[in-house]
Amino acid sequence: MAMHAEQFAERYRAGLRTFLDDPGEAQRSQAYELGRQGLAEGLGVLDIAAAHAAALQRVLGAHGRRGLPEALMRGANDFFIECLSPFEMSHRGAREGARAWQRLNEALENEAKRIAHALHDEAGQLLASVHIALADVASGLPPPSRARLQEVRRLLHSIETELRSLSHELRPTVLDRLGLLPALQFLAESVARRAGIRIRVTGEEAGRLPSEVEITLYRIVQEALNNVVRHARAKRASIELRVGPERVSCAIRDNGIGFAPEQMQKGDGLGLTGINERLHALGGSLQIASKPRRGTVLRAEVPRRR
Ligand SMILES: Nc1ncnc2c1ncn2[C@@H]1O[C@H](COP(=O)(O)OP(=O)(O)OP(=O)(O)O)[C@@H](O)[C@H]1O
Ligand SMILES: [Mg+2]
């Protein structure tokens, strides 16, 4: 049975009365257990505070004008704090979870950076030496064979281009060198070119932001634009970056077919869930406004610093 706030208040009152009569260890652990049940049933700290206030009112009423003796007042405080401690522990757990998620993201970003550099520098260098070796071989060959080698060099060239663009997507060096807004412009240009849609980027240059904020917002826009290309059938999209003294927000809009966010099932896709979790880990949030045939707006917001 769901333990509603009223039923909870009833049990809190009974628990507090028993505790004040006999403030032993067993009663204290009952306060803890009560808090744990409240937490499991979805009650919040404010519900507990309301139950405490109501119970205290009753106890005070029973003591009339004399007021509550100090020992009882202290007992009531102990009971309240004991009952709240499961909430404190769960809050701490959530914070640690967010920190672990943040560290995991940082590790993934570092790994992406390492692979991007290996692709760009090492594989790029190797390909360049293959080019030189082929040119050398070609110069000693009769013209028909030279033409066939030319074809091989053309293929090598397209592999080089592919590798370069892959390494830039894995780790946007523009982001490291110039910051978020130029990186978003660069990203928008390459998505627009590839997908044949118009993407406008607006926003103010506001100096560098903490790197976890920059990379998080960059990855979010990357996923949002992926979704626009894959699902929206839009002709136009826009990215708007706003940097305030306390918070940074980024809105990604498209004029596509839209969807019903409230009908999304858990496990449908990873993109939006991933965005949400990355934002939460930084103390930020995501809003989705979309309706079928009305286009979509994603609004991500994060504190500038923790
Ligand atoms: N801009 C958009 N326009 C229309 N529909 C969208 C848009 N963005 C998301 N959706 C809808 O929301 C769903 C969930 O998006 P999400 O990014 O979470 O998953 P996905 O893109 O399907 O898969 P994944 O991102 O894991 O590859 C999509 O399948 C799509 O139906
Ligand atoms: Mg997606």
CATH code for the domain in which residue 89 is found: 1.10.1240
Last residue of a domain, one of 143, 170, 197: 170
pLDDT of 45 reads: 92
Tokens in use for 76?
A: 């009531």
Candidate from 191, 197, 231, 298 with most ligand 1 atoms within 8 A of CB, to mutate: 231
Are β-strands 236-243 and 198-203 bridged in parallel, bridged antiparallel, or unpaired? Answer: parallel
pLDDT of 65 reads: 65
Q: Does residue 289 sit in the same domain as residue 178?
A: yes
Tokens in use for 4?
A: 């509603």
Residue 274 Cα: closest atom of ligand 1: 18
Q: Does residue 115 sit in the same domain as residue 221?
A: no
Say which DSSP state 171 is in. Answer: S
CB neighbour list of residue 10: distance below 8 Å, 6 or more residues apart: none
CATH code of the domain containing 210: 3.30.565.10
Measuring CA to CA, which residue among 163, 174, 167, 176 is closest to residue 116? 167
274 lines ligand 1 (CB under 6 A): no
Tokens in use for 250?
A: 């980024």
Averaged over successive runs of 10 residues, the pLDDT of the chain (306 residues) comes to 77 92 86 94 92 90 74 90 94 89 87 85 86 88 88 89 81 88 92 92 89 93 94 96 95 96 78 89 93 93 88
Answer yes or no: pTM beyond 0.95.
no
Q: Does residue 240 sit in the same domain as residue 190?
A: yes
296 lines ligand 1 (CB under 6 A): yes
Residue list, CB under 5 A from ion ligand 2:
227, 269, 271
pLDDT of 254 reads: 97
pLDDT of 216 reads: 93
pLDDT of 105 reads: 85
pLDDT of 306 reads: 65
Candidate from 191, 199, 227 with most ligand 1 atoms within 8 A of CB, to mutate: 227
Q: How many domains does the chain have?
A: 3
Tokens in use for 269?
A: 């896709």
